[in-house]
């Protein structure tokens, strides 16, 4: 197999402050293959969006890439000068932001914003670019595109605007789209439509997607693989079914437990005790250790690096072969806890 489309190697994003450097994304590595959808989940402040911003080269100062490298089709892009990176943005890496209401410039018609993007990256004539703009609006499901193309953003609803934003991101067929919480600002009923549209378009064009979200439902529906981030690190990364059905990291496990399921009569949703540490006081060892039910000596001492476990990579000492516990033991330990809670549930149900 050829090189993956995107390779992120030991990426560090940091914010120099007066009281020392804050590390917001700490030494993370992952790949995205051609046409693959990688979901990135995690709580607010886990570093998901910053990772996306680092990939498109638009970290807001004083944020900066402190170490590591980002490679697109084998070529390093994280250290390119602004002008070269600009040519890659939009053309090879598209981006979709959270809030469609504010992503479009209110003073220009959507057609003008589309043709501007198209003509920046190709040498189409204005007439050709306009035709292409109408074609794109048709593709993203905007009715009467020939008329709507001359309208202004304020004449579109939120969902329609996000469709326009998707059309803009995909205008010149980028190889990769970084979608940063593309549905968070939308109505629930519109969210599903937008996700379905994004998924369909990317499949049709063979575009890979890095889908940043905190909505596990969206991930389950859309992603091929999923990376779970916690306190600036990747806790677990693997095929989406594997991560959802058979979570290995205790954090992922807790995360999955906290999703309500229809038809499941639990009295209370499971929750992970405590909250994610602030960037200024990430504990020594594993960042999750204060909240982890299975934390033991080593977790408080050494930081775990992602280790291959089955098809996934998991950053947890439970799966370290050098550790006293074998993988089977670890699985049993996790399962035991699960049985306990299930037994409790059953007990409650019987009462």
Which residues in 30-69 contact another protein (CB under 8 A)? 56, 58
Please choose, out of 10-18, 164-172, 194-202, 328-336, the segment that lies near another protein by the rule CB under 8 A: 164-172
Q: Is 18 in the site for another protein (CB under 8 A)?
A: no
The least CB distance from residue 178 to another protein, in Å, is: 8
Please choose, out of 40-48, 81-89, 217-225, 304-312, the segment that lies near another protein by the rule CB under 8 A: 81-89
Q: In the chain, count H helices and then E strands.
A: 12, 12
Q: Is 87 in the site for another protein (CB under 8 A)?
A: yes
Q: Is 218 in the site for another protein (CB under 8 A)?
A: no
Q: Are 327 and 246 in contact (CB under 8 A)?
A: no
Which residues in 259-318 contact another protein (CB under 8 A)? none
Q: Is 196 in the site for another protein (CB under 8 A)?
A: no
The least CB distance from residue 118 to another protein, in Å, is: 10
Residue 46: strand, helix, or coil: coil
Q: What are the E-state strand segments in 141-297?
A: 176-180, 208-212, 225-230, 233-239
Q: Which phi and psi angles does 218 have, rounded to 5°?
A: -60, -40
Q: Is 351 in the site for another protein (CB under 8 A)?
A: no
Q: Is 157 in the site for another protein (CB under 8 A)?
A: yes
Query: Could you say which DSSP state residue 285 is in?
Result: S
Q: Is 169 in the site for another protein (CB under 8 A)?
A: yes
Please choose, out of 94-102, 127-135, 239-247, 334-342, the segment that lies near another protein by the rule CB under 8 A: 94-102
Quick note: the x/- pattern for another protein over 105-134, rule CB under 8 A, is xxxxx------xx--xx-------------
Query: Which residues does 161 contact at the CB level (< 8 Å), separation at least 6?
Result: 100, 101, 103, 104, 153
Determine the straight-line distance between the first and last CA of the chain, rounded to whole angstroms: 57
Encode 166-186 in three state secondary structure. HHHHCCCCCCEEEEECCCCCC
- 3-state helix, strand and coil shares in percent for the chain, rounded to the nearest 5: 40, 20, 40
Contact residues for another protein, defined by CB under 8 A = 56, 58, 82, 86-91, 94-95, 97, 99, 101-109, 116-117, 120-121, 151-152, 154-158, 165, 168-169, 171
């Amino acid at each position: 197999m050829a090189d993956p489309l995107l390779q992120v190697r030991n990426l560090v994003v940091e914010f120099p402050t007066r009281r020392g450097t804050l590390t917001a994304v700490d030494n993370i590595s992952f790949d995205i293959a051609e046409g693959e959808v990688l979901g990135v989940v995690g709580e607010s402040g886990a570093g998901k969006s910053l990772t996306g911003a680092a990939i498109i080269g638009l970290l807001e100062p004083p944020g900066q890439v402190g170490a590591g490298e980002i490679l697109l089709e084998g070529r390093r892009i994280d250290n390119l000068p602004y002008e070269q990176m600009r040519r890659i943005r939009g053309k090879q890496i598209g981006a979709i932001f959270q809030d469609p209401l504010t992503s479009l410039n209110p003073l220009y018609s959507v057609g003008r914003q589309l043709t501007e993007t198209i003509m920046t990256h190709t040498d189409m004539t204005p007439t050709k670019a306009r035709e292409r703009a109408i074609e794109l609006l048709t593709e993203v499901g905007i009715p009467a595109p020939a008329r709507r193309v001359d309208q202004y953003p304020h004449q579109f609803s939120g969902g329609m605007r996000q469709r326009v934003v998707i059309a803009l991101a995909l205008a010149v067929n980028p190889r990769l789209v970084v979608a940063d919480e593309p549905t968070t600002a939308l109505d629930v009923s519109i969210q599903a439509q937008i996700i379905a549209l994004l998924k369909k378009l990317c499949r049709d064009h063979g575009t890979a997607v890095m889908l940043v979200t905190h909505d596990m439902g969206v991930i389950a529906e859309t992603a091929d693989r999923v990376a779970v981030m916690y306190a600036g690190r990747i806790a677990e990364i693997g095929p989406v079914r594997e991560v959802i059905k058979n979570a290995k990291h205790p954090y992922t496990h807790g995360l999955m437990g906290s999703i309500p399921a229809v038809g499941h009569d639990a009295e209370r949703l499971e929750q992970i005790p405590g909250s994610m540490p602030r960037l200024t006081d990430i504990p020594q060892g594993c960042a999750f250790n204060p909240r982890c039910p299975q934390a033991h000596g080593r977790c408080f001492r050494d930081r775990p690096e992602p280790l291959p476990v089955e098809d996934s990579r998991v950053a947890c000492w439970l799966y370290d072969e050098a550790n006293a516990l074998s993988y089977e033991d670890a699985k049993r330990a996790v399962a035991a806890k699960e049985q306990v809670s299930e037994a409790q549930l059953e007990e409650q149900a019987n009462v």
